[in-house]
């Protein structure tokens, strides 16, 4: 998969995703295998993200590499791979944990989360990410830098649990 770095003030909406993909210069994308300039659109699939407004359906673009033959999804840095919860909601839930905020406050401030999702996020954070952040002094308050540092140190998006190859593309404009 390839993660497209976007500023945190950009909305996590299907329209924003579609407009970013339509303006993307595919020849600049680099495949996780290391090959550049050989990615072309392979197809699309639907993916849902929970938001306060309800579940939003994104038409995720897949690209295929002419060098390695593998396909890769193009995700925004505000998405967590294999999760229906946005990166910001993950961070909000973890910050609440770190500040000993009661669960009810977290659920009220993040209406897209339910108790089960919240427990899952906390469990995965404690199991996979807590020590990683501490070992590199990475702050949850880092915003876009959190994604950049996660890729720099671990070659994956923050809170990405599966070790699927993922590369960060920073030149989305």
pTM over 0.85, yes/no: yes
Distances (CA, A) of 172 to 4, 28, 150: 7, 9, 18
Q: Is 3 buried (19+), middle (13-18) or exposed (0-12) by CB count in 10 A?
A: buried
The helix-helix angle for 115-124 and 87-98 (nearest 10°) equals 80
pLDDT at 26: 87
11-61, pLDDT tens digit by residue?
Answer: 889 999 999 999 998 888 988 888 888 899 999 999 999 887 788 999 999
Q: What is the mean pLDDT of the chain?
A: 89
Examine the pLDDT at 173 and tell me if it is beyond 60.
no
What pLDDT is stored for residue 127 in this prediction?
93
Other beta carbons less than 10 A from residue 98's beta carbon: 11
Number of structural domains (the chain) is 1
112 vs 119: CA distance, rounded Å: 14
Q: Which pLDDT tens digit goes with each residue over 96-106?
A: 888 888 878 87
- What pLDDT is attached to residue 145? 87
Give the domain range for residue 85: 1-173
The β-bridge relationship of strands 2-4 and 167-169 is parallel
Q: What is the DSSP string of 41-63?
A: EEEEEEEEEEETTEEEEEEEEEE
């Amino acid at each position: 998969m390839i993660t497209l770095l976007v500023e945190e003030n950009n909305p996590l909406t299907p329209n924003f995703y579609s407009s970013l993909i339509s303006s993307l210069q595919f020849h600049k994308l680099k495949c996780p295998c290391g090959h550049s300039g050989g990615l072309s659109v392979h197809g699309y699939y639907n993916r849902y993200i929970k938001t306060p407004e309800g579940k939003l359906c994104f038409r995720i673009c897949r690209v295929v590499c002419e060098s390695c033959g593998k396909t890769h999804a193009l995700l925004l840095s505000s998405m967590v791979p294999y999760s229906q919860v946005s990166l910001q909601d993950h961070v909000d839930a973890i910050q609440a944990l770190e500040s000993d905020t009661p669960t009810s406050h977290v659920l009220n401030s993040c209406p897209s989360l339910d108790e089960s999702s919240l427990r899952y996020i906390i469990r995965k954070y404690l199991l996979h990410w807590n020590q990683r952040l501490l070992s590199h002094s990475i702050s949850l308050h880092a915003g876009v830098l959190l994604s950049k540092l996660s890729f720099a140190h671990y070659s994956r998006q923050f809170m990405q649990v599966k070790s699927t190859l993922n590369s960060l593309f920073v030149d989305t404009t």
